Amino acid sequence: MYNFEVETPGSVADAVAALGREDAQALGGGQTLIPTLKQRLASPSVLVCLSGIAEMKGVCRTDDGQITIGGGTTHAAVAKATAESFPGLSGLASHIGDPAVRNRGTIGGSLANNDPSACYPAAALGAGATIVTNAREIAADDFFQGMFTTDLEEGEIITEVRFPVPEVSNYQKFVQPASRFALVGVFVAKFGDGVRVAVTGASNDGVFRWTDAEAALSANFSAEALGGLSISDDDMISDLHGTAAYRAHLVGVMTKRAVTSAA
Amino acid sequence: MPKDGGIGASSKRREDVRFLTGAGNYTDDINIRGQAHVFFLRSDVAHGTLNAVNTAAAEAMPGVVKVFTGADFEAVGGMPCGWQVTDKHGEPMQEPRHPILAHGKVRHVGEPIAAVVADTLEQARDAAEAIEVDITELPAVIDMKAAVASDDVKVHDDLTSNLCYDWGFVEENKAATDEAFEKAAHVTTLELVNNRLVANPMEPRVAVGDYARGTQDHTLYTTSQNPHVIRLLMGAFVLGIPEHKLRVVAPDVGGGFGTKIFHYQEEAFVTFAAKACNRPVKWTSSRSEAFMSDAHGRDHVTKIELALDAEHNFTAVRTETFANMGAYLSTFAPSIPTWLHGTLMAGNYKTPLIYVNVKAVFTNTVPVDAYRGAGRPEATFQLERVIDKAARELGVDPVDLRRQNFITEFPYATPVAVEYDTGDYHATMDKVLALSDRDGFAARRKESEAKGKLRGFGINCFIEACGIAPSNLVGQLGARAGLYESATVRVNATGGLVVMTGSHSHGQGHETSFAQVVADMIGIDENMIEIVHGDTANTPMGMGTYGSRSIAVGGSAMVRATEKIIAKAKKIASHLLEASESDIELKDGAFSVAGTDKSVAWGDVTLAAYVPHNYPLEDIEPGLEETAFYDPSNFTYPAGAYTCEVEVDPATGEVSIERFASADDFGNVINPMIVEGQVHGGIAQGIGQALLENCTYDENGQLLSASYMDYAMPRADNLPEMTHYVVDHSCQTPCTHNPLGVKGCGEAGAIGSPPTVINAIIDALQSGGHKVDHLDMPATPARVWAAMQG
């Protein structure tokens, strides 16, 4: 890697100030950024390390019933804290990467990176979460703007993520055999006023909502309701590990399995 | 009853204590005072004309010692190839020059263009970015058939074509084989790909060069399976350093799988640069570099045909294979698709006529050479797949078809130039059918179907030629080296032994199993024996470890040397006991006079050898140290039968291996636990090839599977539960021509398992009504699903 300076702020305010420096880059759990630096594919002059900010860590339930997760909370911590309160999210978090990844990687880092094959974007979009930054609140529907692209401004930090808790939910991931990222991952969440379905791994545009499935499942929350549905492979990823047609097919299979597991 | 020591005991691997507690001494652990680091600037294009490499800016960078380019090596020999294959017209293969650093052209992504030596690795990398490389990119040729069909893109301008050789074997059998096909009652044809693999040992390659200005001695520390071979090749053919001024050390090595056999440019570079810079020079491969600089494995495209008569007897086998050499010839590359592949095409069957054609092809890819099994997995896969296809076409049981054609009388001379000494293929078949509970399969298939899964049962046999040796034979076949093995047994005054072997252990457990052999012969505790390997300064000239040869060839050398020790020790004992030498018996570490209670202990004799106060100095020399070189009369022929049960998820194409069983005949076994570990590991790699691993280039020669993000390695959860992962070696027909009766076990699992898995998947898919008669490896979910769609 190239040389850089490291800042270790203890508060969000200090982190925001540090990110104002030229070519500064926020460092969450480092599960993407550190390998990128090691390969000399990025050359920030300053790394602003967010892992020492206590106010960005932890999971709690707010008065309105939402689950609020600090942006610097690791996947392992989320998996443990939400096992009872939000098993769909807990199950997703407990299958990201391997134990080393889960004990370093953070929810804020994952959402900010918006890897098209990452798991967390499916949960945030599928549950209709609110991404809270140092500056504002952003609805998940507005946050994700294509692969590796989000609504975040330069220097903006995800401080917490608020999840409405669905009646039932489930995430099904079909892994890419090498990386074990999602080849296709589907998060299904059933709320009192309808069903949301978010798909990761499949699309050239990153995570997206499968609205046809949402409509069908809102009318009848069962795998059978998806029987006649299929999704176009027009914008699906085609690579070494699967064609666009295969991914489109898997979206249907994983959605049915998520519904069956959630119901 | 399990033995508690010696031959046949499952002694715990003594070397694991240091490996598992962080006390190993790997090449990267070697840091020499004053060492500099080298970073190789590698080509990011597959094919191009190298117009200029401007290093001026790089040389001025902080910490830079020296920057090297191809021009610095013009006076130095290129990388040598250790095997010359003669084509079907009697002409030698085309052998291109292989520079240490690219000169004139680059021919594959990853080829080193320049090397920066600097105080630190980061400084070397910084400086490498300042090198200006002027390349005119040329079209690349990646597809082998295209490379042969047209000379539009030539990898080497000075060769007549991209064809390294066109080999026919046995050429004299061709006409008769063709005639047998014309007369056949049934012919089964199969076209297939044997996928390119990357070996991926846990430890990447490392090389450290050192030069002693005072004595003009060179030392190379390297991650090698055969330090003497590296010393010979690099000293004699590349750098012109006599062997007495060159020491090569391969300390603890973390896995080889073949890819650490070969002599690589980086080894020659650090040795050369250490003198040129007058500083030790170290290179440690990153994993990314390993993907594009370690020799790859397999990569064959084959058409195989099997002819049968009306009674289903195999009458002939005919094959045409395109074998990828990559851009240059790696050390033993030409021998893999020929002598380690064509000679195995009889398999376990008495097919009377066989003709094998192999076209070795240059492409703009990383060189391809031996990988665990090396040629034999490719032979086994095509033969066992075509037999399975034939059984389906004929509507007969694949087990019965194989049994009907088994070789049953030994020794057996195949039509492809090798003679199997022993074997019992019905015995291993019986064993594996029992282990796998084939009779219960129908019920298990019903259970799977109830869960919506398709279940398949795959079976196949295999044979391999191991104990890679006879020097006179391999010499006739084009090897530019001998293939004996060596051992020196040094007995110390107080009775402990040091065995210095030319074999090299890089995970196989030699330090344990070799000690068991010597301990058993003398009747002393294994812990009195130290096994020394991996350093040309303190071991006799040896050819190293590959081809499942270490116990069969290296172990036999050790037996011969120990026999000499025992013979001399008996002479000393007879003197001490004042008895006739012919009456001396060695048992449990004591020498006694037959029929009496007179005896002397092992330690009394060894002490007498080194403190020869009471000693027959007029008859024998003091001391107790013997060396033996062993060159066997034949290969060994391990064989076996494997079964596999898979479940296929028809919704996703995902394959899960539910059961795997192997029945191997390795002849005698020294350490059953180590043998079972070798087979478990080999099968894991075979399952990796069958389901996961695939080294892929795009049409421009860019390596698509260049990291673990895209190259899928097998992991524990890709393997069956241990209760259904049964490896058995109880069928034993001892080798008839080596003193231990051993055959070797290192490669069997990787050779025997890939066709088992694919046969099982085909069985599963056909049970679901899918008309799929072949799947190329790896059978990824996407491929299986696509095949099911028709």
CATH of the domain at A17: 3.30.43.10
Question: How many residues are recorded in chain A?
Answer: 263
pLDDT tens sequence across B218-246: 999 999 999 999 999 999 999 999 999 99
* Ramachandran angles phi, psi of B784, nearest 5°: -65, -45
CA separation for the pair B580, B716 (Å, rounded): 60
pLDDT tens sequence across B607-646: 999 999 999 999 999 999 999 999 999 999 999 999 999 9
Average pLDDT over residues A105-115: 97
Residues A85 and A151 in one domain: yes
Among left, alpha and beta (phi > 0; psi -120 to 50; other), residue B544 is left
| pLDDT value of position B2 | 56
B782 CB within 8 Å of a chain A CB: yes
Residues 6+ apart with CB under 8 A from A3: none
Residues A35 and A66 in one domain: no
The residue out of A49, A65, A81 marking a domain boundary is: A49
- Buried/exposed B82-118: b ≥16 CB within 10 Å, e otherwise: bbbbebeeeeebbbbebbbbbbebbbbbbbbbbbbbb
CA neighbor of B722 nearest in space, from B648, B655, B656, B660 = B660
Smallest Cβ–Cβ distance between B782 and the set A178, A242, A253 belongs to A242
Smallest Cβ–Cβ distance between B709 and the set A40, A179, A246 belongs to A179
B709 CB within 8 Å of a chain A CB: yes
Q: Is the dihedral of CA B239, B243, B245, B251 positive or negative?
A: positive
The residue out of A128, A163, A198 marking a domain boundary is: A163
B704 CB within 8 Å of a chain A CB: yes
| pLDDT value of position B473 | 85
Strands A24-27 and A46-49: parallel
Q: Min CA distance, B692 vs chain A (Å)?
A: 7
CA separation for the pair B558, B626 (Å, rounded): 10
Average pLDDT over residues B754-783: 98
Contact across the interface for A246 and B786, Cβ inside 8 Å: yes
Q: How confident is the prediction for chain B on average, in pLDDT?
A: 96
Question: Among all residues of chain B, which has the CA nearest to that of A179?
Answer: B709
Contact across the interface for B780 and A178, Cβ inside 8 Å: no
User: How many residue contacts between A and B have a Cβ separation below 8 Å?
Assistant: 41
Q: Which residues pair with B530 in a beta bridge?
A: B498
Q: Min CA distance, A223 vs chain B (Å)?
A: 14
B716 CB within 8 Å of a chain A CB: no
Average pLDDT over residues B49-63: 98
CA separation for the pair A16, B643 (Å, rounded): 61
Contact across the interface for A249 and B785, Cβ inside 8 Å: yes
Contact across the interface for A246 and B785, Cβ inside 8 Å: yes
pLDDT tens sequence across A213-237: 999 999 999 999 999 899 999 999 9
Smallest Cβ–Cβ distance between B782 and the set A1, A178, A243 belongs to A243
B692 CB within 8 Å of a chain A CB: yes
CB B424 within 8 A of CB B406: no
CA separation for the pair A38, B558 (Å, rounded): 47
HSE-CB for A81 with a 13 A CA cutoff: 15
Structurally, how many domains does chain A consist of?
3
CA distances from B741 to B70, B431, B558, B731 (A): 50, 21, 14, 13
CATH of the domain at A149: 3.30.465.10
Other C-beta atoms within 10 Å of B577: how many? 21
CB A254 within 8 A of CB A173: yes
pLDDT beyond 70 at A27: yes
B656 CB within 8 Å of a chain A CB: no
Q: Which residues pair with B208 in a beta bridge?
A: B221, B282
Contact across the interface for B712 and A250, Cβ inside 8 Å: no
Smallest Cβ–Cβ distance between A177 and the set B651, B692, B785 belongs to B692
CA separation for the pair A172, A91 (Å, rounded): 9
Residues A66 and A108 in one domain: yes
pLDDT tens sequence across B147-166: 999 999 999 999 999 999 99
Q: Min CA distance, B712 vs chain A (Å)?
A: 4
* Ramachandran angles phi, psi of A168, nearest 5°: -140, 155
pLDDT tens sequence across B95-129: 999 999 999 999 999 999 999 999 999 999 999 99
Cβ neighbours of A249 in B, within 8 Å: 785
Strand, helix or coil at A121?
A: helix
Question: Among all residues of chain A, which has the CA nearest to that of B698?
Answer: A240
Contact across the interface for B712 and A178, Cβ inside 8 Å: yes
Q: Is the dihedral of CA B39, B45, B51, B54 positive or negative?
A: negative
Identity of residue B315: T
CA neighbor of A156 nearest in space, from A71, A31, A55, A93 = A71
Question: Among all residues of chain B, which has the CA nearest to that of A181?
Answer: B709
Strand, helix or coil at B426?
A: helix
Q: Which residues pair with A25 in a beta bridge?
A: A47
Sole residue written with tokens 């004053």 = B34
Contact across the interface for A241 and B780, Cβ inside 8 Å: yes
pLDDT tens sequence across A176-214: 999 999 999 999 999 999 999 999 999 999 999 999 999
CA separation for the pair A68, A132 (Å, rounded): 10
B758's tokens: 């694919």
CA distances from B270 to B110, B236, B283 (A): 18, 16, 7
Residues A78 and A120 in one domain: yes
CB B265 within 8 A of CB B100: yes
Full DSSP string of B63-76 = TEEEEEEGGGGTTS
B386 CB-contact burial (10 Å; exposed 0-12 / middle 13-18 / buried 19+): buried
Helix extents (H) in chain A: 12-19, 33-38, 75-81, 87-93, 99-102, 107-113, 120-127, 140-143, 211-219, 244-262
Contact across the interface for A178 and B692, Cβ inside 8 Å: yes
Average pLDDT over residues B190-211: 98
Cβ neighbours of B781 in A, within 8 Å: 174, 177, 242
CATH of the domain at A236: 3.30.390.50
Full DSSP string of A217-260 = HHH--SGGGGTT-----TTB--BTTB-HHHHHHHHHHHHHHHHH
Could you tell me if the ipTM is greater than 0.90? yes
Interface residues of chain A, partner chain B, Cβ below 8 Å: 1, 39-40, 174, 177-179, 240-243, 246, 249-250, 253
CA separation for the pair B686, B599 (Å, rounded): 53
Contact across the interface for A241 and B651, Cβ inside 8 Å: no
Q: Min CA distance, A83 vs chain B (Å)?
A: 24
Strand, helix or coil at B279?
A: coil
Cα-Cα-Cα-Cα torsion B353, B359, B365, B370, nearest 10 degrees, comes to 40
Smallest Cβ–Cβ distance between A240 and the set B651, B652, B704 belongs to B704
Other C-beta atoms within 10 Å of B717: how many? 7
CB B404 within 8 A of CB B391: no
CB B500 within 8 A of CB B539: yes
Share of chain B above pLDDT 70, in %: 100
Helix extents (H) in B27-74: 56-59
Q: Min CA distance, A18 vs chain B (Å)?
A: 26
Q: Min CA distance, A178 vs chain B (Å)?
A: 4
B400 CB within 8 Å of a chain A CB: no
Helix extents (H) in B726-769: 748-767
Element (H, E) at B222: strand B217-222
Residues A132 and A149 in one domain: yes
Number of H helices, E strands in chain B: 19, 28
User: What is the domain extent for residue A20?
Assistant: 5-49
CA neighbor of B366 nearest in space, from B422, B299, B292, B281 = B292
Question: Among all residues of chain A, which has the CA nearest to that of B123?
Answer: A2
HSE-CB for B499 with a 13 A CA cutoff: 34
B303's tokens: 């058409």
Residues A151 and A214 in one domain: no
Q: How confident is the prediction for chain A on average, in pLDDT?
A: 97
pLDDT beyond 80 at B559: yes
Contact across the interface for B708 and A179, Cβ inside 8 Å: yes
Residues A156 and A173 in one domain: no
Residues A133 and A177 in one domain: no
Residues A158 and A234 in one domain: no
Sole residue written with tokens 């969000």 = A12
Radius of gyration of chain B measured on its C-alpha atoms: 27
Question: Among all residues of chain A, which has the CA nearest to that of B705?
Answer: A240
The answer to which of A104-108, B259-263, B473-477 has the lowest mean pLDDT is: B473-477
Domains of chain B: 27-138+202-255+260-293 (3.90.1170.50), 300-469+634-788 (3.30.365.10), 484-630 (3.30.365.10)
Residues A67 and A149 in one domain: yes
Q: Which residues pair with B38 in a beta bridge?
A: B117
Contact across the interface for B781 and A174, Cβ inside 8 Å: yes
Eight-class DSSP state of B445: H
Residues 6+ apart with CB under 8 A from B39: B115, B116, B118, B121, B124, B125, B127, B128
Contact across the interface for B786 and A243, Cβ inside 8 Å: yes
Radius of gyration of chain A measured on its C-alpha atoms: 18
Residues A159 and A175 in one domain: no
pLDDT tens sequence across A32-70: 999 999 999 999 999 999 999 999 999 999 999 999 999
The residue out of A163, A179, A207 marking a domain boundary is: A163
Contact across the interface for B713 and A178, Cβ inside 8 Å: yes
Contact across the interface for B782 and A241, Cβ inside 8 Å: yes
Residues A122 and A187 in one domain: no
CA separation for the pair B362, B147 (Å, rounded): 7
Contact across the interface for A177 and B785, Cβ inside 8 Å: no
Question: Among all residues of chain A, which has the CA nearest to that of B787?
Answer: A246
Q: Min CA distance, B368 vs chain A (Å)?
A: 21
Cβ neighbours of B696 in A, within 8 Å: 240
| pLDDT value of position B476 | 86
Average pLDDT over residues B356-371: 98
B441 CB-contact burial (10 Å; exposed 0-12 / middle 13-18 / buried 19+): middle
Cα-Cα-Cα-Cα torsion B661, B666, B670, B673, nearest 10 degrees, comes to -10
| pLDDT value of position B1 | 45
Average pLDDT over residues B315-332: 98
Residues 6+ apart with CB under 8 A from B589: B522, B523, B524, B601, B602
Cβ neighbours of B708 in A, within 8 Å: 178-179
Smallest Cβ–Cβ distance between B652 and the set A241, A243, A253 belongs to A253
CA neighbor of B464 nearest in space, from B496, B423, B499, B431 = B423
CB A250 within 8 A of CB A233: no
B197 CB within 8 Å of a chain A CB: no
| pLDDT value of position B468 | 80
Strands A182-191 and B206-212: unpaired
